[in-house]
Copies of this chain bind each other. A is one copy, B any other.
């Protein structure tokens, strides 16, 4: 993509309405545009990042055998009355009357609807376990939406649901998701800590929040830094190993301030292992057994021939929120560096362009088409701004690699720079190799 063609309403000034750095950066680089309080449009740059995050989430869900489907945004109030949550949910639920006067709502979550689908689809234990997920827009009518897409009203979320015959089998599904979550955040180069959590209004027994570290996070975190030594890739993909993995995580001290107790912290964690920092919740998983299958009468034939309530869990990842969370974690000293797998482009080419000399642009265009042939997604800065203006802009765009065609480049060697990393003057063949790594 040529920068001059990219739909990128870039703003030089810090937007006054934005209080946190992700919100500021997303507005400045034209990733999003607010269309109403807490409701955003995703412009091409922001859309590309969100889509890449969505795809990582999808791939890791598919790897553990979860099946993708899609539930609608607008739901009937009836099933929420069956579960008893229609009244409980309060004003955060966006309630709607259609032209026939029927009570509808914009789904804030999908436990009711998935249970309703399941109860009319699956009758026998033979079809279990099942893991279903969808990635869909949700709406929560926050009283004070703020911090851009971090706490907005219309948001994009992956929610998965597990269906099992009993607690023991359900725990295996839970562990699989636990594992998928760790892999998901790892691919985004995020340090995510799973923390035992209160189950809250959604109910149930077993629950973890996944919190990524960021100085500007909303939750205060107290943890033993040895938690980062646990490497999920070292566990095998079987039920026993995954249970051990979750146990290993559970043994290490890590809590948010809700559960924090100073004595406990000091007794359990060696002084120089103690980390006190902030974090952002990007995922939440719950096991809630028959909390919904009971009121919604979702029954399954067991092996013994009885009808029993299906045991369920639910598993959320905030896809749109993750875009902002990654920025909070990765934007430092006024410089952004997108993690490789979710960067809007693989590499930027930044040629020095003068009115009288278009040589660098010609070189840049040649490199551009060479890299495109290798399926490398390139942003070519073909604008005629000064190099220092360009660098300032690219610092915010955050593409992790830059090819600079300026004073240091010769006929066939160019400056290749990794943001916050090394810089070298190399030829195109070596640039390709570095990008393919």
Which residue numbers of A lie inside 8 Å of B, CB to CB?
4-7, 9, 30, 33, 35-37, 39-44, 47-48, 50-51, 65, 67-76, 91-92, 94, 96, 98-100, 102, 104, 106, 113, 116-117, 120-122, 126-127, 130, 132, 137, 139, 141, 143, 153-154
Contacts and interface: CB of A to CB of B under 8 A. Distances in A.
Contacts of A126: 4
14 contacts: A4-B127, A7-B67, A30-B121, A33-B121, A35-B75, A39-B74, A40-B72, A41-B113, A42-B69, A43-B69, A44-B67, A74-B106, A96-B96, A99-B141
Given A42-B70, A44-B67, A130-B7, A36 B75 contact: yes
Contact of A41 (B30, B37, B69, B130): B69
Main secondary structure of the interface of A (DSSP, over half): mixed
A380 to B, nearest CB: 14
Given A41-B72, A70-B42, A143 B7 contact: no
A418 to B, nearest CB: 27
Given A74-B106, A94-B96, A6 B69 contact: no
Given A33-B117, A96-B94, A98-B94, A44 B71 contact: no
Contact of A120 (B5, B33, B75): B33
B70 A41 contact: yes
Given A9-B120, A30-B121, A41 B71 contact: yes
A76 B33 CA distance: 14
Contacts of A91: 99
A324 B276 CA distance: 55
A99 B91 CA distance: 6
A91 B100 CA distance: 10
Nearest to A126: B4
A7 B98 CA distance: 31
A314 B243 CA distance: 53
A36 B130 contact: no
Nearest to A142: B99
Given A7-B67, A41-B69, A99-B141, 5 more contacts: A6-B67, A35-B116, A41-B113, A73-B73, A92-B99
Contacts of A30: 121
Nearest to A8: B121
A216 to B, nearest CB: 25
Contacts of A98: 94, 141
Contacts of A69: 7, 41-44, 47
Nearest to A143: B99
Given A41-B113, A143-B99, A47 B35 contact: no
Interface centre among A71, A98, A121, A154 (most CB of B within 10 A): A98
A72 B132 contact: no
Contact of A154 (B40, B73, B92, B102): B73
Nearest to A91: B99
B74 A36 contact: yes
A92 B99 CA distance: 8
Contacts of A113: 35, 41
A47 B73 contact: no
Given A9-B122, A132-B7, A35 B70 contact: no
Given A33-B117, A121-B33, A139 B70 contact: no
A164 to B, nearest CB: 14
B72 A47 contact: no
A6 to B, nearest CB: 7
Contact of A117 (B5, B43, B127): B43
A121 B39 CA distance: 18
B154 A72 contact: yes
